Amino acid sequence: MQGCIFCSIASGLIPATIVYQDEDVVAFRDIHPVAPFHVLVIPRVHLASLAESTEADAALLGRLMLAARRVAHDAGFQARGYRTIVNTGADAGQSVHHLHVHVLAGKTLSWP
Protein backbone atom coordinates (compact mmCIF):
# COMPACT_ATOMS: atom_id res chain seq x y z
CA MET A 1 0.00 0.00 0.00
CA GLN A 2 1.39 3.37 -1.01
CA GLY A 3 2.58 5.44 1.94
CA CYS A 4 2.87 2.50 4.36
CA ILE A 5 6.32 2.48 5.97
CA PHE A 6 6.20 -1.28 6.61
CA CYS A 7 5.25 -1.98 2.98
CA SER A 8 8.25 0.14 1.98
CA ILE A 9 10.52 -1.87 4.30
CA ALA A 10 9.14 -5.18 2.98
CA SER A 11 9.78 -4.11 -0.60
CA GLY A 12 13.29 -2.84 0.16
CA LEU A 13 12.54 0.83 -0.51
CA ILE A 14 13.37 1.80 3.08
CA PRO A 15 16.41 0.22 4.73
CA ALA A 16 16.02 -1.83 7.90
CA THR A 17 18.09 -4.34 9.84
CA ILE A 18 16.51 -7.51 8.48
CA VAL A 19 16.92 -10.59 10.70
CA TYR A 20 14.72 -12.96 8.69
CA GLN A 21 12.74 -12.95 5.48
CA ASP A 22 10.99 -15.36 3.18
CA GLU A 23 8.38 -15.08 0.45
CA ASP A 24 5.61 -14.18 2.92
CA VAL A 25 7.15 -12.33 5.87
CA VAL A 26 9.94 -9.93 6.82
CA ALA A 27 11.41 -9.57 10.31
CA PHE A 28 13.51 -6.56 11.25
CA ARG A 29 14.83 -4.76 14.32
CA ASP A 30 12.58 -2.10 15.80
CA ILE A 31 14.14 1.37 15.59
CA HIS A 32 12.71 2.24 19.03
CA PRO A 33 13.31 -0.96 21.02
CA VAL A 34 11.69 -1.47 24.41
CA ALA A 35 13.81 -4.55 25.18
CA PRO A 36 17.37 -5.59 24.34
CA PHE A 37 15.91 -7.79 21.59
CA HIS A 38 12.95 -6.16 19.80
CA VAL A 39 12.04 -7.40 16.34
CA LEU A 40 8.94 -6.73 14.25
CA VAL A 41 7.56 -9.51 12.05
CA ILE A 42 5.31 -8.31 9.22
CA PRO A 43 3.55 -9.86 6.25
CA ARG A 44 4.82 -8.72 2.86
CA VAL A 45 1.25 -8.02 1.79
CA HIS A 46 -0.52 -5.08 3.37
CA LEU A 47 -2.98 -6.08 6.06
CA ALA A 48 -3.88 -3.12 8.29
CA SER A 49 -4.41 -5.06 11.52
CA LEU A 50 -5.50 -8.35 13.01
CA ALA A 51 -9.05 -6.96 13.02
CA GLU A 52 -8.89 -6.73 9.22
CA SER A 53 -7.90 -10.39 8.80
CA THR A 54 -10.29 -13.06 7.58
CA GLU A 55 -10.37 -16.83 7.42
CA ALA A 56 -8.54 -16.51 4.10
CA ASP A 57 -5.55 -15.10 6.05
CA ALA A 58 -5.25 -18.10 8.39
CA ALA A 59 -2.15 -19.54 6.72
CA LEU A 60 -0.44 -16.13 6.63
CA LEU A 61 -1.20 -15.54 10.31
CA GLY A 62 0.36 -18.90 11.11
CA ARG A 63 3.45 -18.03 9.09
CA LEU A 64 3.79 -14.77 11.04
CA MET A 65 3.79 -16.64 14.35
CA LEU A 66 6.22 -19.29 13.10
CA ALA A 67 8.54 -16.53 11.87
CA ALA A 68 8.31 -14.86 15.29
CA ARG A 69 9.29 -18.16 16.89
CA ARG A 70 12.15 -18.59 14.45
CA VAL A 71 13.70 -15.15 15.05
CA ALA A 72 13.51 -15.63 18.83
CA HIS A 73 15.05 -19.09 18.61
CA ASP A 74 17.74 -17.98 16.14
CA ALA A 75 18.69 -15.23 18.60
CA GLY A 76 19.03 -17.80 21.40
CA PHE A 77 15.95 -17.01 23.47
CA GLN A 78 14.15 -20.37 23.33
CA ALA A 79 15.37 -21.42 26.79
CA ARG A 80 15.00 -18.09 28.63
CA GLY A 81 11.79 -17.06 26.91
CA TYR A 82 10.41 -14.25 24.80
CA ARG A 83 7.17 -12.31 24.39
CA THR A 84 5.08 -11.88 21.27
CA ILE A 85 2.63 -8.98 21.05
CA VAL A 86 0.09 -7.91 18.43
CA ASN A 87 -1.44 -4.49 19.07
CA THR A 88 -4.75 -4.04 17.27
CA GLY A 89 -6.15 -0.53 16.95
CA ALA A 90 -5.32 2.83 18.49
CA ASP A 91 -6.50 2.00 22.02
CA ALA A 92 -4.18 -1.01 22.04
CA GLY A 93 -1.20 1.09 20.96
CA GLN A 94 -1.03 0.22 17.26
CA SER A 95 0.75 3.18 15.66
CA VAL A 96 1.61 1.68 12.26
CA HIS A 97 -1.43 0.32 10.48
CA HIS A 98 0.21 -2.73 8.95
CA LEU A 99 -0.17 -5.96 10.93
CA HIS A 100 2.99 -6.72 12.88
CA VAL A 101 4.12 -9.01 15.67
CA HIS A 102 6.54 -7.60 18.26
CA VAL A 103 9.09 -10.14 19.53
CA LEU A 104 10.67 -9.00 22.80
CA ALA A 105 13.42 -10.70 24.78
CA GLY A 106 16.73 -10.19 26.50
CA LYS A 107 15.44 -9.13 29.92
CA THR A 108 12.85 -10.19 32.47
CA LEU A 109 9.59 -8.73 31.22
CA SER A 110 6.86 -7.63 33.58
CA TRP A 111 3.18 -7.29 32.82
CA PRO A 112 1.89 -3.72 32.62
**Distances, alpha carbon 86 to alpha carbons 9, 12, 13, 14, 73, in Å:** 19, 23, 24, 23, 19
Instruction: Give CA–CA dist 1/45, Å, rounded.
Output: 8
Q: Which residues are catalytic?
A: 100
Instruction: Give CA–CA dist 27/15, Å, rounded.
Output: 12
Instruction: Give CA–CA dist 13/55, Å, rounded.
Output: 30
Instruction: Give CA–CA dist 46/39, Å, rounded.
Output: 18
Phi-psi map region of 83: left, alpha, beta (phi>0 left; psi -120 to 50 alpha): beta
